[in-house]
Amino acid sequence: MSTAKYLVTGGAGYIGGVVAAHLLEAGHRVTVLDDLSTGFREGVPGGADFIEGRVQDAARYLDASYDGVLHFAAFSQVGESVVDPEKYWVNNVGGTMALLAAMRGAGVRRLVFSSTAATYGEPVSTPLTETDPTAPTSPYGASKLAVDHMITGEAAAHGLAAASLRYFNVAGAYGRHGERHDPESHLIPLVLQVALGRRPSISVYGDDYPTPDGTCVRDYIHVADLAEAHLLAMDAITPGEHLICNLGNGNGFSVREVIETVREVTGHPVPEVLAARRGGDPAVLVASAATARDRLGWKPSRPELADIVADAWDFARAVGAERGA
Ligand SMILES: NC(=O)c1ccc[n+]([C@@H]2O[C@H](COP(=O)([O-])OP(=O)(O)OC[C@H]3O[C@@H](n4cnc5c(N)ncnc54)[C@H](O)[C@@H]3O)[C@@H](O)[C@H]2O)c1
């Protein structure tokens, strides 16, 4: 595609920041809209315009000069969504409703949305395909599924060109953009915090699952591969169609494999503590990447866990150094 102008909501966060950086590198113009509720001002890549504001107020900022929107702004802590579900409906669903109305009003008719594997819930088969049943087990997953349904309706009724990309476990880092959730709940950054000496040990929640080593298996995708899929999706979408597409490696790694890889990459001991299973953790969550390959022409170029962990480690050390750790 020739040079275009995009609004990136949530572009001060982890994934939105990496995608914004890729868009800029591809020669596009980028405006980041982010309220910094979980993101960081320094996460906005140089070269992007920045609006500190809420997606709920998108109508104030969107106009016909934009060619499309990439929508990352959301709350995404599964556990928090269980204890505070309304926070998720208000921000994730309410925010996207306002965004869709603003896009309609401004005549901006291209959207790529961050959906999630959490829309499926307990998998009925593996690897998961986009036609598998959706039965989310958390308000977070339910809020993202509700948005997917909203986008399907918007495409059918009003001709929006849209894609929902259902990410599995996003990991790794891209330059100065890496994972920094607070509280951190994602496995790779948590294990790296142990390697850095900032946590005493890593908890392994159950080792009696029906998997090769008994621990849960997840599909990890490098954030830079994920970013490339967004640029391809923006080009692949067509008016009136809502493309739903899983983004994963199609390959699973167990919790113990992740811990072992962190030990190898960092050279640090990582003590582990066996804990009880957590409710709602499926044994295996692996994506079928066939739709992404066929519809987007996408293939991950960094599928090795060691490469993903190595990039995340560089980022974790840089952040540790900033904080004087
Ligand atoms: N990280 C993963 O593994 C993963 C997996 C599946 C889906 N996702 C989805 O990807 C997206 C990005 O996730 P992330 O890990 O980068 O999270 P993040 O918290 O780093 O980024 C989200 C950004 O959105 C901003 N934001 C939230 N609500 C807003 C609002 N109402 N208005 C303006 N800005 C707002 C936050 O300040 C933050 O900068 C989310 O939608 C998440 O649900 C992430």
pLDDT, tens only, 259-280? 999 999 999 999 999 999 987 7
Pocket, ligand 1, Cβ cutoff 6 A: 9-10, 12-16, 33-39, 54-56, 72-74, 76, 91, 95, 114, 116, 167, 169-170
Atom of ligand 1 nearest to the CA of 40: 39
Q: How many CB atoms are closer than 10 A to CB 254?
A: 21
Contact 32, 11 (CB under 8 A): yes
Q: Which two tokens stand for residue 207?
A: 């080792």
Render pLDDT for 56-81 as a digit per residue (tens, 0 to 9).
999 999 999 999 999 999 999 988 99
Residue from 57, 70, 72 whose mutation best tests the ligand 1 pocket (most atoms within 8 A of CB): 72
What contacts 24+ positions apart, CB below 8 Å, involve 272-278? Answer: 272/201, 272/202, 272/203, 272/204, 273/201, 273/202, 273/203, 273/204, 274/203, 274/204, 274/207, 275/203, 275/204, 275/205, 275/206, 276/205, 276/206, 277/205, 277/206, 277/208, 277/209, 278/205, 278/206
Q: Give the C-alpha separation, 177 to 179, whole Å.
A: 7
The strand ranges marked E within 10-59 are 29-34, 49-52
How many angstroms does the Cα of residue 37 sit away from the middle of ligand 1? 9
119: left (phi over 0), alpha (psi -120 to 50) or beta: alpha
Q: Is 182 exposed, middle or buried (0-12, 13-18, 19+ CB in 10 A)?
A: exposed
> Which residues share a beta bridge with 70?
8, 112
pLDDT at 176: 87
Instruction: Reduce the DSSP state of residue 115 to 3 states and report it.
Output: strand
Beta-carbon contacts of 109 under 8 Å, excluding residues fewer than 6 positions away, are: 68, 103, 159, 160, 161, 239
Calculate how far, in angstroms, residue 105's C-alpha sits from the geometric centre of ligand 1: 24
Q: Name the residue of 31, 34, 169 to mutate for ligand 1: max ligand atoms within 8 A of Cβ.
A: 34
**Interval between CA 180 and ligand 1 midpoint (Å):** 11
CA quadruple 158, 161, 164, 170: dihedral, nearest 10: -150
Token pair recorded at residue 233:
């999706």
pLDDT 10s digits, 199-227: 999 999 999 999 999 999 999 999 999 99
Percent with pLDDT over 90 in the chain:
90
Mean pLDDT of the chain: 95
Atom of ligand 1 nearest to the CA of 73: 24
What is the pLDDT at residue 1? 52
Probe target for ligand 1 pocket from 14, 51, 182, 220, with the most ligand atoms within 8 Å of CB = 14
How far does Cα 189 stand from its chain's mean position? 14
Cβ pair 164, 244 in contact under 8 A? yes
77 Cα–ligand 1 center, Å: 9
Pick the residue whose CA is nearest to atom 11 on ligand 1: 72
Instruction: Quote the pTM value.
Output: 0.96
β strands within 188-270, DSSP E? 202-205, 217-218, 220-222, 242-247, 253-254
DSSP code at position 202: E
Task: Dump pLDDT digits (tens) for 135-184.
Answer: 999 999 999 999 999 999 999 999 999 999 999 999 999 988 999 877 88
Q: Name the packing angle between helices 187-195 and 255-266 (round to 10°).
A: 40
Residue 275: CB partners within 8 Å, gap ≥ 6? 203, 204, 205, 206
Can you tell me which atom of ligand 1 is nearest the CA of 118? 6
pLDDT higher than threshold 60 for residue 325: no
Distance 143 CA to ligand 1 centre (A): 13
Q: Which two tokens stand for residue 110?
A: 């291209």
Which letter does DSSP use for residue 91 in this model? I
From CA 323, how far away is CA 192, in angstroms rounded?
15
For the cut 90, the answer to whether the pLDDT of residue 2 exceeds it is no
Where does residue 102 rank: exposed (0-12), middle (13-18), buried (19+ CB within 10 A)? buried
30-45: per-residue pLDDT in tens?
A: 999 999 999 999 999 9
